[in-house]
Structures are given as structure tokens and as C-alpha cells.
Amino acid sequence: MIDLSYRIEDARAMNQTVFVTAPRLAEAGMRRLEQAGFRILFLTGSQDGAEVERVMAGNDVTAVIARTVELSARAIAACPSLKVVSKHGIGVNNIDVDACTRRGIPVYVTPGANAQSVAELTIALLGAAARKVAWMDREIRAGRWSRAEDGVQLAGRTLGLVGYGQVGRRVARVARAIGMEVRVFDPALLPPGAAESASDIIVAQSLAELLPVSQVLSLHVPLTPRTRGLIDATALAMLPLGAILINTARGEIVHQPALVEALASGRLFAAGLDTTADEPITPDSPLLALPNVVLTPHVGGSTPEALAAMAGGAADNVIGFLAGEPPDPSTCVNPEVLAKENHELC
């Protein structure tokens, strides 16, 4: 973490406003922003994109700490004072990054801040889906002693990871510890055909190579135009019969109607989903009627430890940028903006 204490007086003199697109921010982030003298605004009403637009149109917002509510091009255009956006996490699909780029506004993320918590929930969903934990819990509460004896033992099975960043690596370590073989596909991070000598993890050269051997498939990639709908009916049909799908990334990576069909038909044994295409999930979603689905409400990164790390990192991004000590360029999702700034300063 960058020591920004020597910049506090400079930041206080700025008298600038930070807008958090949520009703609250963890104490770790609040303390940093307050010490730096920023005025802090929060969402208080509908907590939707329209409220974000109203706040940004009615205030001289200098920086946004973006949570899960949409930060649209309209909201960005409504705020000529905006200089920097910092994502509370790493998924920027709810931020119009192109609109920021056109304005020369850098968008930073906080990589790794919630990785441990997301990885732990991934493992929890995997165990719950494999052993029908949610179904047995419901049965017991309904007065029935229904003992599922057809659960999946994970040792000896192959886990396929789509994405091998900080979350995927943590999941891989746990999976190997319980006796699973791990294979990964992530062209952005690993050379095709390579193997990690320290962990004996096999790297697939393509998704088509990974899917047929993945008795469990776990998703750990951001939502981009390339990954939207990546796991569609064709991909699901390539998985071994009786496979398990785990998604703690983004719901739109999976084609949801195809997933429902695969679960209902028995082609998939089960799914553990922390994220769905519609959030909150709609009351008429067919996922709710399926007994072989375990659902959580997008809380992978919502432990006190993860929230504190994300809040602190997001605040540091804002303070550092505005105080002339910008964060590591690798945490900026539109680095072309930084290159332009550097050129103009020359």
C-alpha cells in the first residue's frame, strides 16, 4: 500500500468531492478519505443509475468510487468536474469505460483485494453443489430426513478453470489439496501449452480443449465483449455428462437459458452460482425452481476483510491520483488515457 500521508495537506487544500455509488464505504476507505479532507457523497435513495446521474449532475464531483450501480455515459457527461474513477473491486462492466476514455478520465481497479474471499466462496459453492447441501437443508427444515447418497466426491476429478488470475490460483491450490487435478485456460495470463512445474497444473491451449475434460468448470474471468455468453449451449454440451458449473465471476458470462436447460435435463449434475444474468434475480427465474442449483446473491467479495481491502484500495487510488502520485499503471483499465496525459506534459 502506498504511503500517502505526506500528501494529506495537499489533498485537504483541494476541497474536492468523492462520490461513492453505494450507501456506505468500509471504515478503511472512509478513514483515508476523511483524513485527506475530501467531501464524501453516498447514494441514499433508489440506488440505481438514475440516482447516480442526479448526484453527478447536481454536484462538482471530482472522483467516483464505483460499486455495483451503473456509472453510465450520461452520468459521466453530466459531471464536467470528474477527473478519476476508482472501482471498488475489479469488474468494470457497470462503468462506461469508453465514455471515461473519451473524456480523458482514468478508471482504476483494486486487483487482488477480494481474491481470497471470492476463492473461498467458490470452494464453498463447489462443496455445496457437489454434495446437495442446499437441497438436504431444505428437506430437513421441511420435516423430511432425506439423505442424499448420490453426491459427487471431488477427489480424483478434474477441475477446469477459465481464468487463472488471483482468484483462480487460490481455488487451484485448494482443489489440488483435496485431490483434484487442475487444468486452466487463460490466454491472457499463461502461454498456451505450458505447465507450471511447481504445481503440475496443465494449461489448455483453448476452451475447446479444456471443456471435455472438466468434470467441474469454474469461471474466473471479467465480463468483456469477448467473454459475454462464452459458456453457451455449445460449450455446456462439451462438458462431461454430470459436470458441475461454478460461477463467481459475472452472470452474463454464461448463457442462462442454456444453463437452465442443461440443469433441468440432467446433463449438468449441479451449479453453484454467486452471480446471475439478472441481479437481483427475478422472482420468476427458472433457476429458482431447480433443485440442483445453489444460489448466493453476488457476495463473493463481501466479507469484512475484502470490503476493507477494496475500500482502502479504491480510496488510495483516488487520493494518489488527485495528489499527483497516480497508482500503478497496471491497475488502470484504460491506460491509453495515462499515455496521453504523459505526452501532453512533455
In the annotation, is 279 catalytic? yes
Active-site residue, from 9, 34, 279, 336: 279
Query: All 3 cell numbers of residue 330?
Result: 497496471
Active-site residue, from 32, 170, 250, 255: 250
C-alpha R_g of the chain: 22
CATH superfamily of 5-111+303-345: NAD(P)-binding Rossmann-like Domain (3.40.50.720)
The domain ranges of the chain are 5-111+303-345, 115-295
* DSSP β-ladder status, 201-203 and 195-196: antiparallel
Is it the case that residue 242 has pLDDT exceeding 90?
yes
Average pLDDT over the chain reads: 91
Q: Are 157 and 215 in contact (CB under 8 A)?
A: yes
So what's the pLDDT on residue 15? 74
Is the pTM value of this prediction over 0.75? yes
Q: Which of 5-9, 31-35, 228-232, 279-283 has the lowest mean pLDDT?
A: 5-9
User: How confident is the model over 204-219, as a mean pLDDT?
Assistant: 97
In the annotation, is 131 catalytic? no
User: How confident is the model over 268-283, as a mean pLDDT?
Assistant: 96
The pLDDT-based confidence of 7 (bands split at 50, 70, 90) is very low
Q: HEC states along 45-111?
A: CCCCHHHHHHHHHHCCEEEEEECCCCECHHHHHCCCCCCEEEECCCCCCCECHHHHHHHCCCEECCC
Model pLDDT for residues 141-189, shown as the tens digit of each residue: 999 999 999 999 999 999 999 999 999 999 999 999 999 999 999 977 5
Q: Is 59 exposed, middle or buried (0-12, 13-18, 19+ CB in 10 A)?
A: middle
d(CA 246, CA 32): 36
Is it the case that residue 343 has pLDDT exceeding 90?
no
Active-site residue, from 32, 88, 170, 298: 298
- Helices assigned H by DSSP within the chain: 8-14, 27-35, 49-58, 73-77, 97-103, 115-130, 133-141, 166-177, 207-210, 233-238, 256-265, 304-322, 336-345
In the annotation, is 343 catalytic? no
Q: What is the CATH topology of the domain spanning 115-295?
A: Rossmann fold (3.40.50)
- Nearest Cα to Cα of residue 125 among 303, 321, 298: 298
Model pLDDT for residues 119-131, shown as the tens digit of each residue: 999 999 999 999 9
